[in-house]
Amino acid sequence: MSSTTSTPATSTPKTPQSSSSASRANSSTYTEEKILPRFTGVLLAEGSKKKIEVAEHFKRLAHLRKESDQLEKTDWQFEPVEKLLGK
């Protein structure tokens, strides 16, 4: 009887480091795919919020300018505060 010994193929075995590195790369890609849209949405929302706050600020300034102009136009109708207080 002739015994035949089989020799393993000459492929390089995967070391634990290389397989864990590959799994880390796959998991980080998966994580980035999940997290990136969330943070992108948050960043866009924050940017939109900031733009809205700036627009509201300019509206308030415009309203105050309008009030100031109105007070200047009607200033002649009123006695100065200093005269009323006797200073």
Q: DSSP letters along 42-53, please?
A: HHHHHHHHHHHH
Element (H, E) at 4: none
The whole-number average pLDDT for the span 42-53 is 85
Q: Does the residue 15 lie in any domain? A: no
Q: Does the residue 65 lie in any domain? A: yes
Q: Does the residue 68 lie in any domain? A: yes
pLDDT at 61: 95
Q: Which pTM does this prediction carry?
A: 0.46
Q: Does the residue 14 lie in any domain? A: no
What's at 80, amino acid-wise?
A: P
Q: What percentage of residues in the chain have a pLDDT greater than 90? A: 25
- pLDDT bracket for residue 63 (50, 70, 90): very high
Q: Is residue 17 scored above 90 in pLDDT?
A: no
Q: Which residue range is the domain that position 75 belongs to?
A: 37-87
Q: Does the residue 2 lie in any domain? A: no
Mean pLDDT across the chain, nearest whole number?
A: 74
Q: Does the residue 11 lie in any domain? A: no
